[in-house]
Amino acid sequence: MPEQPKKQRSIILARNAERSVRLPIAGEPLPRMEWEEAILQKSIQLEEIDSDVYLASKDDLWKPLGARGVFGGQTICQCLHAAILTVPESHAVHSFHGYFLLAGDSERNIIFHVRRVRDGGSFATRAVDAKQRGRIIFTSMIQFHKPEPSMGLEVAIPMPKVPGPDGLKSDREYLEELARDERLSARMREFYWQSLARPSRAERRVVPPQATDDPLDTIEHVWTRVNGRLGDTTEIHLICLAYMSDFGMLQCAYKPFGGFRDQPPAMMVSLDHSMWFHSQSFRADDWLLFEIRCTKATGARILSFCKVWTQAGELVFSCAQEGLARHNETLRPLEPAAEPKM
């Protein structure tokens, strides 16, 4: 009998037509971003063009303002997406390790080549290369595990006690404040208005430091969720969490120096990114608490680790990233606060 074509799993919702975006006039209310969910879902779609070969259209690639190339989280999650499409549904992703090799060009399609390294009874391993112009821009190794009982071996770090997301300012609200700040240069205010005019894929709300926190400690807590509602397919939420895991992983290293905006690097790029999926019991469009901590910065490199909890307190995800940060001038750390006199 002739070989039957493989039935491909469809895990992405239908595309929506992209709408034009008008730059807001300074001082007017920001428009409601009703199409943001569709923009994110387009960002993670792939087209199968050959056996284990997938294409991400240049029309769906996102390059942040001022960035050297395509947003790294998009390439990360598309590699994961391509790998998921080649494994049995009985296996769930548990780890991902990748390296950024070249900046992605947002004007060219990205081709993802999947290599089936191993298919075992309990584990499946995939190698995924993202290519442009025949060169690898990102390479990754991804492993899947057929779920099995832990027989009571359950350990997890508890969620830190921080304020919930309700009532906290979003990153877009902070950007709007900066865009309206007349103390900033016209060029900087224009940059912030342009950033606001672009639909965001996710919303972030930074938890302000608490009274008992060390203001110079290299740790940040951020509530994050996808804008809009996603479908109920588990894989969509895994892919979207992978996308969001690349948000602000290196910036907490600058807290001892007054913050990232006060001491911006002349150049910053991600070097590698690793992820561990502990659970599938979450939704990426519900609030998730990200705890990001820089553990070391030296030799122009920053290493940060991140843990993610649901609002119910379940640790569902961990990741790590190392990045390159180059400065033209020597950074000067802030002075520690003086101890109160007794």
Active site residue 270: yes
Q: What pLDDT was estimated at residue 342? A: 55
Q: What pLDDT was estimated at residue 338? A: 58
- The pLDDT averaged over each successive group of 10 residues in the chain (342 residues) is 41 34 38 49 86 94 86 96 95 98 96 97 97 98 96 95 93 80 79 75 90 88 91 91 96 90 87 97 96 97 98 98 95 73 55
Considering 45, 140, 270, 318, which one is annotated as catalytic?
A: 270
Active site residue 285: no
Residue 273: count other Cβ atoms within 10 Å of its Cβ: 26
Whole-number Å distance between alpha carbons of 118 and 110:
24
Among 309, 306, 273, which Cα is nearest to 289's? 309
Q: What pLDDT was estimated at residue 250? A: 96
**Under 8 Å CB-to-CB from 68, ≥6 apart: which residues?**
103, 269
Residue 1: count other Cβ atoms within 10 Å of its Cβ: 3
Q: Describe the strand order of the beta sheet including 53-56 as a list of residue ranges.
A: 47-50, 53-56, 110-119, 123-132, 135-145, 92-100, 267-277, 315-326, 301-310, 288-298, 219-226, 202-206
Task: Please name the amino acid found at residue 172.
Answer: R
Whole-number Å distance between alpha carbons of 249 and 284:
18
Q: What pLDDT was estimated at residue 16? A: 30
Q: What pLDDT was estimated at residue 264? A: 84
Whole-number Å distance between alpha carbons of 264 and 268:
9
Considering 246, 251, 274, 318, which one is annotated as catalytic?
A: 246
Q: What pLDDT was estimated at residue 206? A: 93
Active site residue 321: yes
Q: What pLDDT was estimated at residue 170? A: 84
Q: What pLDDT was estimated at residue 35? A: 42
Among 112, 1, 72, 4, which Cα is nearest to 275's? 72
Give the DSSP per-residue string, 57-97. -GGG----TT-SSS-HHHHHHHHHHHHHTTS-TT-EEEEEE
